[in-house]
Structure 1
Amino acid sequence: MERIPPGQIVTERFPILTYGEEPRVTPERWRFSLWGLVETPLTLTYPDLLALPQVELTRDFHCVTRWSRLDVAWKGVRVRDLLERARPKPEAVAALVHSYGGYTTNLFLEDLLREDVLLAHTLFDKPLPLERGGPVRLVVPHLYAWKSAKWVRGIELLDHLELGFWEKLGYHFRGDPWREERFQEGPIPAASLRFQSRKGGREG
């Protein structure tokens, strides 16, 4: 399988792209919640996150603006592990990710359940810096990077697709780099995608 998605250029740099001001969130103030269509809502502090089983992984990072950075090393907690604790209800098929500062992005539950989707607090063996979304960001390496929300504060499970910030402005509702799902063309086939998510769908 090709390593670089179509239309991408590999860079040794690691550009920082942020819309608006960077929220100033310290580890002491950081809180993460998992709520919505779950049996057991969760709230975590930063020490709570560090006390959970930790995962180190290296994945490529693909930005919709056409650059790719290879072999990015993260450390954090699998979102799948948190979802197992929260126990999504049967009708939950999608999520809206919330960040400090008001940013949102949407994901399907099947995407969040992949084993390499993390709440990451460490980048290249150092605490995640503020400008890269610290103290904690979401990392969804199989989708374009705008889905990897910086300064994440919560995940809300839903029974429908609710578009996030960039998706409302015309970005694709899913963002698979291998399909070049950069921008939405035509209406979103919400009904069929809800069914696809329930059945497992295609993983990018």
Structure 2
Amino acid sequence: MNSSNADLPPGQRERDSFPRFGLTQFATRFPAQVDTIRLQILGEVRAPIEIGLAELQGLPRIELVADFHCVTTWTHKGLRWGGVRFRDFYQQLVLPKAGPVSGADFVILRGQDGARSCMSLQDLLAEDVLLADCLNGEALGLDHGAPLRLLAPAHYGYKNIKHLDRIEFRRSSVGYRPSAYRFMEHPRARVAAEERGRWLPNWLLRLLYRPLIGPTAARFEQALKERRP
């Protein structure tokens, strides 16, 4: 860990490495398909659709440099991401083809590994939110979300679903179940506001999370080594 944290968001500490990381139950879960991008658009829409690589390639590509903030209090700085803006994806593909109903602004994001999270449509339409397929000039690897992931730099890492393959638009959160315990998932999870979770104070969440960083990173790394030939 880097000892200089003055320029980081509240409660964060800089980490030199960018580990494969997440809830421990996902350490041994891997995507079935890493070579082909298929995004299902479901929920309260006029017509459920599937969007593939060819359609995404028709959108403007951008690169941006952003820090990654894990809710467990570590931050890795200066990652260079490539992909398409979620805003362009929504306006040019989702709206005309799937047609979410009015008020369907509660969005559920699911990965091939079974991970799921939610975001408001308002937050997803921010200028720096991407459907990312590249990291530091290379195609995403298995460790960081291949073939496609969400990147929402202003939000804690658990909102940045890896191996993204399904997006659901709903008018309410009724029936939604997060991957983790409910106290661990904030509806917005904005880093600057330190929205780590719900109901428990941030000082307690930091205290609970920090001892888990090393063992969790090691577990994910070991699972990845065992997965590779």
Same fold (TM over 0.5): yes
* Structure-2 residue corresponding to 1:104: 116
For residues 168 and 59 of structure 1, the distance between their equivalents in structure 2, rounded to whole angstroms, comes to 27
For residues 86 and 45 of structure 2, the distance between their equivalents in structure 1, rounded to whole angstroms, comes to 14
* Structure-1 residue corresponding to 2:169: 157
* Structure-2 residue corresponding to 1:113: 125
Q: 1:116-151 deviations in whole A, cap 9, x for unaligned?
A: 111100000000001111111111111001100000
Q: Higher mean Cα deviation, 119-128 or 81-90?
A: 81-90
* Structure-1 residue corresponding to 2:191: 177
In the alignment, structure 1 residue 16 sits paired with structure 2 residue 20: yes
Q: 1:154-189 deviations in whole A, cap 9, x for unaligned?
A: 211110123421253633232112222212107xxx
The answer to whether the 8 Å contact 1:138/1:149 transfers is yes
The answer to whether the 8 Å contact 2:106/2:119 transfers is yes
User: Offset at 1:23?
Assistant: 2.0
Q: What SS does structure 2 have at the residue aligned with 1:80?
A: helix
* Structure-2 residue corresponding to 1:129: 141
Q: CA RMSD in A?
A: 2.0
Give unpaired runs (5+ residues) of structure 1. 187-204
Q: CA distance change for structure 1 residues 166 and 173 in 2, over 3 Å: closer, same or farther?
A: farther
Q: CA distance change for structure 1 residues 64 and 38 in 2, over 3 Å: closer, same or farther?
A: same
Q: What SS does structure 2 have at the residue aligned with 1:185?
A: coil
For residues 178 and 138 of structure 1, the distance between their equivalents in structure 2, rounded to whole angstroms, comes to 19
* Structure-2 residue corresponding to 1:56: 63
User: Offset at 1:34?
Assistant: 2.2
Q: What SS does structure 2 have at the residue aligned with 1:116?
A: coil
In the alignment, structure 1 residue 66 sits paired with structure 2 residue 73: yes
The answer to whether the 8 Å contact 2:11/2:73 transfers is yes
Q: What SS does structure 1 have at the residue aligned with 2:189?
A: coil
For residues 52 and 45 of structure 2, the distance between their equivalents in structure 1, rounded to whole angstroms, comes to 19
Tell me the amino acid that sits aligned with residue 23 of structure 1: P
In the alignment, structure 1 residue 146 sits paired with structure 2 residue 158: yes
Q: Report which of the two has the higher share of helix.
A: 2
The answer to whether the 8 Å contact 2:40/2:51 transfers is yes
Give unpaired runs (5+ residues) of structure 2. 1-5, 201-229
Give the TM-score taking structure 2 as reference length: 0.73
1:37 to 30, 37, 44: 44
Tell me the amino acid that sits aligned with residue 74 of structure 2: W
The answer to whether the 8 Å contact 1:24/1:130 transfers is no
For residues 113 and 17 of structure 1, the distance between their equivalents in structure 2, rounded to whole angstroms, comes to 25
Q: 1:76-131 deviations in whole A, cap 9, x for unaligned?
A: 11111121132243211210101112211011110111111111000000000011
Tell me the amino acid that sits aligned with residue 11 of structure 2: G
* Structure-2 residue corresponding to 1:190: none
User: Offset at 1:40?
Assistant: 5.7
* Structure-1 residue corresponding to 2:215: none
Q: What SS does structure 1 have at the residue aligned with 2:20?
A: coil
Q: How many pairs were matched up? A: 184
